[in-house]
Structure 1
Amino acid sequence: MKNSILFILPIALLLYSCGNSQTKTPVNNQDLAETNIAKSQSELIFEHTKVFPDNTQLAFAFIENGKVKFYGVEKRNDTIFTVQNQQNAFEIGSITKVFTSTLLADFVLENKVELEDPINPFYDVEFKNGQEITFKTLANHTSGLPRMPSNLDFDISNLDPFSSYDVDQLEYYLSNEMDLSFDEDGTYEYSNVGAGLLGHTLSKIGKQPLNQLFQERIFLKYNMPNSTIGSENVSVFLVQGQSPEGKPVQNWNLASLSGAGDLISTVEDLSEFALAQFENDNKTLALTRTVTHTMSETSSIGLGWHMRKGPSGENWIWHNGGTGGYTSCMVMDTDNKNGVIILSNVSALGDPMIHIDELCFELMGAL
């Protein structure tokens, strides 16, 4: 588990069946009268949510034919209740990587950088053995960088395991410990340090903190007023993150690796970003969805977004995320303007978190 979390589980590549689970126990107080979700969707939600501890919240956005509806549940006293939580904030973990790559696409279209450019000139330190890393390989996980930097002691017992990993430590890693493992053709190897490095580099180029770049270039543009970095900046209700046992946990601060998973958002905000993906004339978002590396006949990656063929051959883009107190998943079919977004305070440090990915892909398949 130590190296498998944060912030994506590749098993989600395989999860897209949409079998209709039947409710086996009447411990379910979801109220469908005030919502438009189907009973089959409610049953899927119940089957996957009943395993979570009390005080677990899940917030949903269902997008069908470009129309959005929201739904939410909370488990209390071993009962699942319907709640309105579309404006409640959650850590979104690695879905942040999509926003970091969107910022990169913006810079590319403004001719600030090119995808094939190395990031090396933007640093005063020399990278170990003169190894070069390009913007594109950071955004599509083909740089050869590992999941975590070797000088980060990632300990899941630490309440905030990244908070002390500052710029000095990142640059020490680049100049003294970095060891790229790619072959000549490039190989997909999911990397949190790579995405964090991309965000840090873009912040240097933009001469602004990453959160400010997100605010000015993405959140304002796509009507996402309740998205931010840092729990102290959240202006709406922030759902308490939980441990796998359901105990309150501290919010994470990724420090110099912020671009890998530091964002806090709501399903309402993320639905606005999802709807923007359906706009044909948005060149920045289209660039992030352009395939830059192929892993298999059904799986590829653009800039940030992972892509796969859905059960009927449709093209899905997706990303998921997880931190010590939260798990998230976001899947879209841009051709048919469908999508499912789930934010939760289910810890990524426990095995039950896989239910969030499973539920998201099953709900998507059922649309």
Structure 2
Amino acid sequence: MTAPDRTAWSPRLTGGDPELAARMKRAAGAPGNHRALSVALIQDGAPRFAALGTEDGDTPAPAAPDTAFEIGSTAKVLTGMLLSRLAERGTVSPEQPVAELLPDRFTGRPAGRALLGDLAAHRSGLPRLHHRSAAAALWASLAARRGRDPYRGLDRDAFLDRAAAVRGAGSAGTFRYSNLGTALLGHALAAGASPDGEPDYARLAERELLTPLGMTGTRFHTRARPLPHPAALPHRPGGRPAEPWTSPGYAPSGAGVWSTARDLARLLLAVAEGRAPGADAARARFDAEGENRVGRGWFTRIRADGTEVVWHNGGTGGSASFIGLVPRTGRAVAVLSNTGHGVDALAARLLLTDD
């Protein structure tokens, strides 16, 4: 007897805009590709929402615009926007080195010489992650494949110790995607914005970005901060549950960050209209990989037909996300999935076509 496919959604578990839901089904392909999907599509300044599949919990319900999903690296745009926001105020400067804001650990250290603006654009030369022993790296790789949390709740102090221990960095000014760099940027910004208090990245993001934008469904999950509710819990592509990622240390890079289609629609609309705090972060500044350019957290790609798309995506061991907008038209999309199966192609179809 064949085991049921635990990733498939039921056609009756469809919510929101019927036409958008139908487009989602066509774009998503086989039902087994995802367990639950939640989408926001913005056209003419107004968001539409649709969802497929269910939330998780004691009483599962159809996914909805306010269902929270892990967003992973999509949260990097928040850290980039924080830099632009604080730079506009003169609280920090993109030309400041990390050591000026975190002198106790980083004075005289390679990572301490990294400039805030370079960290935001992945141009600091720092590696993707902190150094780990061969055994620790193997454990993290196996943990991720098995749906376990590879960060194991790494806290701020432990993260900063590991970042300060980086022995060398590559050439500054060359693109090199770095979770370590974005996380270090977030903690440096928190220190710069809280010179007389306890630096806390999550509180800084809530105060400067989430609250002004009305993003009440976006949460930072740690051992001390519970999972949001309602939530679509993460699953591996085969359908088995995966552990949510938690790490206050890597939170500025997206570990433990959850959001909703409604919140991400608010973010995208505010960025498209230029009224979001730190909206200048979306402006492309440097070349990145392939056909992409990079701003502060945000990427920009010019398609063959000349269409400019500003975007970021994210993935954890059991979730995937994408946000993107077309500045010329103001059209934008947010796609959230609680299965470790990418949603970039699905998002591009919704964003760039009417199929």
Same fold (TM over 0.5): yes
Query: Are 1:209 and 2:239 matched, yes or no?
Result: no
- Shift in Å at residue 296 of structure 1? 7.2
Partner of 1:12: none
Partner SS state of residue 246, structure 1: coil
The 1:343–1:296 alpha-carbon spacing in structure 2 relative to 1, beyond 3 Å, is closer
Residues 236-315 of structure 1: pairs in structure 2 closer than 5 A = 236-261=229-254, 262-280=256-274, 284-285=278-279, 287-295=280-288, 298-315=291-308
The 1:30–1:166 alpha-carbon spacing in structure 2 relative to 1, beyond 3 Å, is closer
Partner of 1:181: 170
Partner of 1:139: 120
CA distance in 1, matches of 2:327, 2:289: 20
From 111, 129, 133, the counterpart of 2:90? 111
Partner of 1:365: 352
**Which 4+ runs in 1 deviate beyond 4 A?**
27-34, 38-41
Instruction: Provide TM-score, normalisation by structure 1.
Output: 0.80
1:278–1:335 contact (8 Å) kept in structure 2: no
Partner SS state of residue 213, structure 2: coil
2:51–2:65 contact (8 Å) kept in structure 1: yes
The 1:243–1:115 alpha-carbon spacing in structure 2 relative to 1, beyond 3 Å, is same
The 1:59–1:117 alpha-carbon spacing in structure 2 relative to 1, beyond 3 Å, is same
Partner of 2:44: 65
1:226–1:234 contact (8 Å) kept in structure 2: no
Letter in 2 for 1:194: G
Number of aligned residue pairs: give it: 323
- Shift in Å at residue 191 of structure 1? 0.4
2:272–2:325 contact (8 Å) kept in structure 1: no
Partner SS state of residue 273, structure 1: helix
2:183–2:252 contact (8 Å) kept in structure 1: yes
Query: Are 1:342 and 2:329 matched, yes or no?
Result: no
- Shift in Å at residue 205 of structure 1? 1.7
Partner SS state of residue 269, structure 1: helix
CA distance in 1, matches of 2:129, 2:317: 16
Residues 96-175 of structure 1: pairs in structure 2 closer than 5 A = 96-123=75-102, 124-125=104-105, 126-128=107-109, 132-151=113-132, 153-154=136-137, 155-158=140-143, 159-175=148-164
CA distance in 2, matches of 1:216, 1:323: 26
1:163–1:255 contact (8 Å) kept in structure 2: no
Instruction: Provide TM-score, normalisation by structure 2.
Output: 0.82
CA distance in 1, matches of 2:259, 2:16: 27
Partner of 2:210: 219
CA distance in 2, matches of 1:342, 1:198: 26
- Shift in Å at residue 156 of structure 1? 3.6
Partner of 1:43: 26
The 1:50–1:69 alpha-carbon spacing in structure 2 relative to 1, beyond 3 Å, is same
Comparing 106-115 with 246-255, greater Cα deviation is found at: 246-255
1:227–1:234 contact (8 Å) kept in structure 2: no
Partner SS state of residue 339, structure 1: strand
Give a deviation string over 1:130-159, Cα, whole Å, max 9, x none. Answer: 861000111000111111111373414432
2:234–2:318 contact (8 Å) kept in structure 1: yes
Runs of at least 5 residues in structure 1 that lack an aligned partner in the other structure: 1-26, 77-81, 348-352
1:325–1:346 contact (8 Å) kept in structure 2: yes
Partner SS state of residue 272, structure 2: coil
Partner SS state of residue 182, structure 1: coil
1:200–1:258 contact (8 Å) kept in structure 2: no
- Shift in Å at residue 42 of structure 1? 3.6
Query: Are 1:319 and 2:319 matched, yes or no?
Result: no
Partner of 1:91: 70
Give the alignment's Cα RMSD to 1 decimal: 2.7
The 1:110–1:361 alpha-carbon spacing in structure 2 relative to 1, beyond 3 Å, is same
Partner SS state of residue 177, structure 1: coil
Partner SS state of residue 255, structure 1: coil
2:81–2:277 contact (8 Å) kept in structure 1: no
Partner SS state of residue 50, structure 2: strand
Runs of at least 5 residues in structure 2 that lack an aligned partner in the other structure: 1-9, 56-60
Partner SS state of residue 126, structure 2: coil
2:313–2:321 contact (8 Å) kept in structure 1: yes
- Shift in Å at residue 253 of structure 1? 0.9
CA distance in 2, matches of 1:40, 1:265: 22
